[in-house]
Structure 1
Amino acid sequence: MNNDHQRDAVLAQAVQLREQGRAEQARNQLIELTERYPDDAEIAYQTAWAHDVLELEAEAVPFYERALSNGGLTGEDRHGAFLGLGSTYRVLGRYEPAVQTLGRALEEFPDDPALQAFMAMALYNSGEGRQAVRLLLKALAATSSDRRVQDYRRAIEHYADDLDGVQQQDQ
């Protein structure tokens, strides 16, 4: 079996193990793969994901960073790597890198509600509660299928940009 087929087969098996709840086995296979293919973004991403599943967030970070810096990820995997890294930074209390990472992600995927939700959490943790609420309200208005939310969509979007606005009343 040539190297590409062997790489693909082992990677597919590791992903399947993770999906079956056998994340530790997947992690072990993926670590071996990263040693053989240190510049492979897809392997780095899958290795990071396996670490995250095992709640080994600090160990996941360098793999996410490697995956995003090497190029070669599909759009879907790049999205997942950004979300995973941003979320992992936030869980580790590294709020500034979380906001920066999720900000980069939103530059590439500006209308993604999952990224917006994770960005809102990171903004909240960074003391930017107003910006977090604004982002969540806009995401809610844009993505909700609830009839009442849609009935008030324009108002929700308007007030999201002016949370502190108060009309003056005549006395």
Structure 2
Amino acid sequence: MIDVEEQLARAVSLRESGSLDQARDLLLHLSTVAPDHVQVAYQTAWVHDLLGLEREAVPFYVRALDGDGLSAAERRGATLGLGSTYRSLGMYAEAVGVLAAGAAEFPGDRALAVFLAMARYNAGDAKEAVASLLTLLADTTSDPDIQRYHRAITFYAEDLDRVWS
């Protein structure tokens, strides 16, 4: 009988040490032995992404997010991973859906906000993408020149097409 937890720890250690192909092989085996194990699914998705095998990562991200048992940090990572992977595959509507749900679930996560803006741009919503990035920039920068115009930047981010007559 295989000890899934022990082998999962071994696979994570292999991934962390850079032995990505070995980690992938072990994780693929574990995913057949324990198909509903969300940690196995998450780690399998992650290693596929690291290897540039984005399309193969998708079903593992979906499996991880559909189950219970991920910590909040892991759930956030899986959401970002799946959304980013969808975007890199040209699946822009799916990317926006996943990343928007992630931004709602983790409203203070700026990385999710940035990836959501990129996906919105790719989906043809450049105005919303730029507006959200302007707001993010104004709220997070320590640059004194940008901070000086914080109010104006956030005001215009709300309506980039506004013209004063």
TM-score (norm 2): 0.95
Q: 1:9 aligns with which of 6, 17, 21?
A: 6
Long gaps (5+) in structure 1: none
Q: Deviations over 1:66-110 (max 9, x none)?
A: 000012100000000000000000111111110000011011011
Q: CA deviation at 1:145?
A: 2.3
Match of residue 25, structure 2, among 25, 28, 37: 28
RMSD value over aligned CA atoms?
Answer: 1.4
State whether residues 113 and 143 of structure 1, in contact with CA within 8 Å, keep that contact through their aligned partners in structure 2: no
Q: Residue type of the partner of 2:130?
A: V
Q: Which runs of 4+ in 1 moved over 3 A?
A: none
Percent of residue pairs bearing the same amino acid type: 53
In the alignment, what sits opposite 2:152?
155
Report the Cα distance in structure 1 between the residues aligned to 2:28 and 2:128, rounded to whole angstroms: 39
Q: Which residue of 2 aligns with 1:141?
A: 138
- Paired residues in the alignment total 165
- Range moving further from structure 2, 152-161 or 41-50: 152-161
Unmatched 5+ stretches in structure 2: none
Query: TM-score normalized by structure 1?
Result: 0.91
1:158 deviation in Å? 1.0
Residue of structure 1 aligned with 2:112, choices 108, 111, 115: 115
